[in-house]
Structure 1
Amino acid sequence: MLQKSIWKIVFLLCFYTVISAQSNLNKDAFNLIEKANQSDSLSISTNFLYQAIKKASKIPNDTLLTRAYYNLYIHHYNHKLYDSNEYFLQKALFHAKRGHFYEGVEYCYEDLGLVMKDQKNYTKALYYFQKALNIYHQHKVGSFFLIHTKIGELNALQSNFKESLYHYKKAKNNIQFNDSVKQIKLNKAIGSVFFLTKKYDSAQFFFQKAIDLDPKIKEPSIHINYINTLIKLNKPNTLVYIHNYLKQLEQQNLPKDKDFLFMLYLLKGNLFLQLKQYNKAKKAYELSEKHINDQVSKRQELMLYLRSSKLEEKIGDYKKSLKYFKKMYHLDSILYYKEKTAEFDRIRTEYEVDNKDQQIELLNKEKEVEALRKKQIILGSLGLLVFLGIVFWYRSKTQNLKKKQEIERLEKEKELEQANALLKGQDQERNRIAKEIHDGVGAQLAGLKLNLEKINQKYQDKNLKSISSKLENSFSELRSISHNLSINYIQDHSLAELLTKLKQYYQKQSSFSIELSLFPKEDFEFINQIQKHHLYRIIQELLNNTRKHASATEVSISITKQKDNINLFFEDNGKGFNVSLQPKGIGLQNIEERVESLNGELSIDSQLSRGSIIVINIPV
């Protein structure tokens, strides 16, 4: 009975120990993810997340692994690094599926769809959004509105307008009546589909509905679409109605949306030009020109310059007409010439078949084309002269800049050579000391030990045996110090072997534990000797500083090799220091010089009583 009770107690203790360890790992992983989300630095947040992945994998906790990989995607996306986005999302999706974390599965499918859409892979994007829709129907997680809206948008991009309208209407039926933002968005999208399929009455209906929900013009492009639809319908009194509509828009507080303002004033100028109100048209075109920006297409800009040139010609200001014509020419002179030539060739053919009067009119138009070509040649020549002047000025400026950059480069190289020479001298001196220790003091200790053992063979004295054992320990310690100082020792071992032995040495000599991580470990077998040498010396110096100054009990060393760089993350729980006030010692100066010689970056984050974090990035 007593034995059974003891076994129950032992089992409960073991069970509690396992549960407690798992709980600590869960808590650590969660805290690391939170730390990553609080950091603006990609390297620091990435390190925290990889540490979280490592801890969550030991349990394993698929929900935390999903969050960690999903956050890696978010951080890289926010820093405009898109190469690894699909990989991180696929890893997050794998763990979300394995852990039956369906909300995470739906998020991953949605974001994979957005990634594929950004890559213009619309077929694959549709596949992922369809998967997200299936998860929604099965588990009621995610946004029904967002999924159907994106599926509708992707079908429209592929000219599958019937399917696009189906999903837009499904999304529309799902939203609340008072959700005006979503109502506006969907009415605009449906109207655009009808416009593209030339169903202008339906397009007008949905654009009108969006406008009725948007009295403060939060979506200005709707009004442009609405006016273009009215122009396509070409109903009686359309010009008068558009004039009054544009006037009404102008009287409202217009948004600071330059492409909307560009189109608004362009349409207004076109209207006044049709009504032969040239001064008003000129003012509208000038306002449109002021609002040209990157969102305005070159074809729209070309149309503005063409209309402005014709307007100035009608007014009689030929100088300004030529100015706008020149702008138009620089935008699309080759396309313009081809289009006009094709047009005139078509007219000539038609008129040759018709009657002689039409042939005469064609000849006149050909003369106009020839005159236009001559004008283009003149303008092209002037443009070439201006271009050559700009090229000459730019070349002169570039040469001066290159000279300045060359001087800076030479100064930088000189500084690096001095630093490398200093580091080389230090390494040579270390190597010399290592040889002296090994060949001098080490040899003497070894000889003394052998003599004592030889004498003790006769006397079998316990004290002599103890002294011999202590000499053996001293010799081992001296040999370890000699190895740490020796260059040959570093060259003959991999980085993983060097750091493992360094960890063992400091854990034996010091009062702190060391957690060492190389990820992925196999990649460090192929780094060059210079990088390996400097990394080893940097970590050796950091551990030495921790032992001398930090009073730490725990040290964490994480080295991650990514595509373009090696990231070293060193953290201790010691007493910390004020980075701005603490003078730099020789050890820290040596670390900075080694990092600089590798063209790397060094970041130190430390506060009193809160430990220290050192982050080093070295390009590969």
Structure 2
Amino acid sequence: MIDSIKKSVKNLKPVDSVNIANQHYKIGEFYRYSQKSDSAFYYYNKAEKVFKKQGLKYELAITYYGIAVVQCNEKDYTGSEVTSVEAIALLETLGSRNDVRKYKSFLYNNLGIVYDELEQFDVAIQYYEKSLRLKRGLKGDFTRSIGLTLNNMLKAYRRAGNYELAIEKYREILSNSDLTTNYPEVFVLALGNYANTLYVSKEHDKLPGLYIRALEICDSINDNYNSIIIHQHLAEYYNYINVKDSAKYYAYRAKDLSTEYYNDDLLKSLKLLSEIEEGDTATDYLKQYVELNDSIQNEERKIRNKFARIRFETDQIEKENIKIAKERMWLLIISTVLIIASFLLYLVIRQRIKNKELQFVQQQQEANEEIYNLMLSQNDSIEEARTLEKRRISEELHDGVLGRLFGTRLSLDSLNMANSADAVKTRGDYIEELKSIEEDIRKVSHELNTDFVAGGGFRDIIETLIETQSSAYKFQFEFTHDDSINWDIIPNKNKIHIYRIIQETLNNIYKHANASLVNISFKLKKNVICLVMKDNGAGFQVNRARSGIGLKNMKSRIKEIKGELNITSKVGVGTKVRIEVPVTETTTNV
């Protein structure tokens, strides 16, 4: 069993510290019941540290109880007292659950044993009574446990010299049929103590019968440990009444049984033999008694020192763990501070870069606005010059040519006085021809003097750009414009971005497409300006192409004017760029 528990502990991961502690507690319990105090203390101590660290009060309290029992068994009564009180203090904070009250009753019983061994019998009896009150109120069958505490308390009465009360209470215990039937090991313990109380109180009427009965019960249940005590009591009784053979028989029998345990019972058996035997034999057993007593005391001292060493080493490990934990905590704090500082520095640098980018975009926007305004101004100047020139030509035609033609016509009319048929016919033909020329000139003059369609300025700018680029890049173009588009209501920012996108697209066609023909068309559909630019160049695979700075700028521009950009291409066929920009009218605050 213990090997399987140890194996399960090895298989647990370090993160399962509480589970490991629970297994250490179980191992400690095993060694305690096996009377291996040092091993029990070691595993209890390992469990204690984890339970304390995790704040598990109940688990810590029952571990303290195990440690207190081990300390009491090894006669470290002061240590057992301190540990028991500490465990009770923990349980006091956990309410009145049945399991909490159960362990409190066990701890009070242990304190009773401690003070009984320290010969403070009144205090011992007080703790036994506290233990009994709790045990009698527990849920479940605690008959055996109550019987053990009663027996301990009556033993304290006997050792305190209160024989009458002890005898009276023993009789109450022995009359408990449930105890006799179900827990014979407790019954025989009480029976032996009752008989011994009668012996020390000089009431020998029922002796040695009670001792013999107790011994028979021990034999029937193979209770060798209590059998040792009964044999010792019988040896004392027969030695007291001077029946030496019987005294020696039971004394030697007690020694043989106690040799297996090599403890106080063997020590007491040797002392009995030194008192019962005579001469050298008695002296020899007395020497053995002294040697064993010294050996046991040394062993007890070693075990107590071992307890102290285990505590010390565990405390040292705990301190080392605390030191490591603090170092890790500081390392974590420093790392966190560095990470936060680095992140903040990154944010500052990033914000500065964004601010510079925003400043650059703003400056670029202002430059674009200025360029467009210059373009418009230049276009207005050209249009104004054209208008003036047209007006001048109109005036020249009207005032000059038409005046002279009118004079000629009048001259011809004056020659119409000749009456010959040929002359009249010839003059009529000239006059009609002149009228025709006059009408044509008047028509030209009128058309020249008519203003261009409003809003044609941006369209002309775009057409000029296309003509210039096609001439420089050596390709043909077809330009189609929907005259229903009113560029005058479109914000300058939008027109600048459209202009730049067309410029960048033509530049990309020249650098990458090697096209010979480019189709460019503007259409207005549902209040959305649709620009389509299609070439017959090399084309490319759109999904695999990397976005250069030109394409990124195009996307950025189209996003700024809340438009959409769609590029489709096929290798060997060409590329199509489609831009859709919603019409947003320019507003003016008055």
TM-score, structure 1 normalization: 0.37
Greater relative contact order structure (CA < 8 Å, 6+ sep): 2
TM-score, structure 2 normalization: 0.39
Q: Which has the larger radius of gyration?
A: 2
